[in-house]
Homo-oligomer: A and B are copies of this chain.
Amino acid sequence: MYTDSVTYTADRLIESTRELLWERGYVGTSPKAIQQRAGVGQGSMYHHFDGKPDLALAAISRTAEEMLAAAEGQFTAPGTSVERIAAYLRRERDVLKGCPIGRLTQDPDVMADPVLRRPVEQTFTAMRGRLAEVLAEGRDRGELTDTLDPAATASTIVAVLQGGYVLARAADSTAPFDQAVDGVLGLLAAQTR
């Protein structure tokens, strides 16, 4: 529960912006719709945020932080490097809805604005970086073969997730996502010693 009503108002505005960005994209998210969904007046909104771009940045940044924090839960769990990556890839996901950060790459207004694109880019860079660390750790511990390239393999894993969402949407089924994940985990398993 929030006891600070100022924080609570800002929070509701961010959450409403997140929902609207997800449902309607940037162009379809009007300041008025944000205010209505948050139950906040125009004056209050402009007290907390400079406007729609500022709110969108806060909304995208919060989604990005949550995504990285959730992944960190799997990356720092006990187990071998491949076990932790498998737990991350196989964790419960709303596959047919897709990735709220990945989908922003198809939003022309977000991609055209360097300030809004930055957290999208940073999220993928951070995810690839963390996966590369987990893979390098596995290699250094002797779990994985020396020939495995941690950075390239990490990019492959992030691409499999993002591409798996595309295949699942095309099929209106989670099956191709699961198969793509099985495939990369099979290739990784062959690299364990």
Contact = CB atoms under 8 A, between A and B. Distances in A.
A164 B180 CA distance: 14
A167 B182 CA distance: 21
How big is the A interface, by class?
35 or more
A82 to B, nearest CB: 12
A162 B166 contact: yes
Contact of A183 (B156, B180, B183): B156
Nearest to A154: B183
A149 B186 contact: yes
Interface string A125-153: 10010000000000000000101110111
B153 A186 contact: yes
Interface string A104-126: 11100001000001001101110
Interface stretch (A50-58, A70-78, A169-177): A169-177
Q: Is the contact region of chain A dominated by helix, strand, or loop, or is it mixed?
A: helix
A155 B179 CA distance: 6
B179 A187 contact: no
29 contacts: A102-B170, A105-B170, A111-B172, A117-B172, A124-B167, A124-B170, A125-B171, A145-B190, A148-B186, A151-B179, A152-B186, A153-B186, A154-B183, A155-B164, A155-B183, A156-B184, A157-B183, A158-B163, A158-B167, A159-B160, A159-B161, A159-B162, A159-B163, A159-B176, A159-B180, A159-B183, A163-B163, A184-B187, A187-B188
